[in-house]
Amino acid sequence: MAFEAMTQRRAGTSFHLFFTMNPQEYYRRIQAVVRPEQLHGRKVMVIGLGSGGSRLAAELGRLGLDLCLVDRPNERLEEHNVIRHLLDYRSLGELKTQAVAEWIRHRNPWTRVQTLDLDVVAQSEQLAAALEERHPDLIAVCTDNLESQFAVNILAVQRGIPEVGAAVYDGGVGGEVYCVRPAQACLGCIAAHLQLQRPEPRTDLNIDYNQLDRDELRSVGALNLDIEQIAILQTRMALQLLLGTATDLTGIPPDVNLLVFANRTGNPPLNRPLHAEFFRIPANPDCLICGAPMRTGNAGSGSVAES
Ligand SMILES: [Zn+2]
């Protein structure tokens, strides 16, 4: 089987790439671990195309998953992004969604990639409509703030769509990856537990209050390798959730819904370097997001919950 591909590199240029893809040859070196048909066409919505989300999207894209890349409108690659991002100077000024989609198409032309520019907090109705239309098998939450992670969580829980999210701790000392499976603990339940576990936020940040930049304030200080380490763990958990028991890529029991990884040593649970701690956090029956009323009443209704 061959795949004829023609890629227009970017609008406004006449550069075209013509080639023939041979999927058997392309997938040859991974077949012993995972069969392409186990993942090809499985639908994942990736929300947030920053340093972490771009790495996750790239890995899933290589494997032929059907991707919808979501980021805020007009979210473009800036120079201060380049040192930690998948993309490089060639994509400066481009929309991150479209530039990452192009990166993936050059690796695996078989991968179906769509892009969606919307703010998941301010445009939750549009996100709900996109979820109804696409019915993703999984949402990868790769945004850098709890507000957007919760906005996604509410819509995902209502529709029974699994989520895998991640966060990198300030200074890059470590990070966490959480999984929300249908009818199990949601991000609200997990976050309540995390408040007891998270390292204390740093208080020595030098913030210039005359030049307040929302992105700058939200963005944690961390090296690329600190972020990439957590993003790859998130990707692994996402793949495991999609593969189920058919193929084991982690050895992690299926009821684990949180891992905390130490890039460096710090306060517990980061007291062992390059080590992960695993948690099974139960659903709170009284949780306003995933508690009994949500599971028996509004589940699947398609309505947008009010905060
Ligand atoms: Zn909950």
Q: For position 45, which CATH number holds?
A: 3.40.50.720
Q: Who surrounds ion ligand 1 at CB < 5 A?
A: 186, 188-189, 287, 289-290
- Interval 125-158: pLDDT, tens: 999 999 999 999 999 999 999 999 999 999 999 9
Q: How many CB atoms lie within 10 A of CB 249?
A: 15
How far, in Å, from the CA of 126 to the mean position of ligand 1?
A: 23
Task: Output the CA 10–ligand 1 centroid distance in Å.
Answer: 43
pLDDT (0 to 100) of residue 159: 97
Tell me whether residue 11 is in a domain: no
What pLDDT sits at residue 20?
A: 83
Counting residues of the chain whose pLDDT is more than 90, the rounded percentage is 69
Is 13 part of a structural domain of the chain? no
Q: How many angstroms is it from 231 CA to the middle of ligand 1?
A: 24
| Residue 267, pLDDT score | 81
Indicate whether 231 belongs to any domain: yes
- Average model confidence (pLDDT) across the chain: 86
Strand 3-8, strand 16-21: pairing: antiparallel
Question: Where in the sequence is the domain holding 81, given as residue range(s)?
Answer: 21-200+217-296
Predicted pLDDT at 220: 74
| Beta strand spans in 14-130 (E) | 16-21, 43-47, 66-71, 113-117
112 Cα to the center of ligand 1, angstroms? 32
Ligand 1 center from residue 35 Cα (angstroms): 34
Asked if the structure places residue 67 within a domain, the reply is yes
How many angstroms separate the CA atoms of 184 and 285, rounded? 10
For residue 1, tell me if it sits in a domain: no
Residue 76 falls within a domain, yes or no?
yes
What's the gap in Å between 48 CA and the centre of ligand 1? 22
The strand pairing partners of 164, in sequence order, are 140, 179
Distance in Å, CA 164 to ligand 1 centroid: 15
What is the per-residue pLDDT for 198?
A: 57
Q: How many domains does the chain have?
A: 1
Chain-centre distance for alpha carbon 85: 14
Give bridge partners of residue 76 from the DSSP assignment.
95
Q: How far does the centroid of ligand 1 lie from the alpha carbon of residue 153, in Å?
A: 9
> 205 lies in a domain?
no
Instruction: State in Å: Cα 163 to ligand 1 middle.
Output: 13
In a domain, 6, yes or no: no
Question: Distance, CA 288 to ligand 1 centroid (Å)?
Answer: 7
Give the pLDDT of residue 199. 53
Given a cut of 70, the residues of the chain with pLDDT beneath it are 1-18, 196-219, 292-307
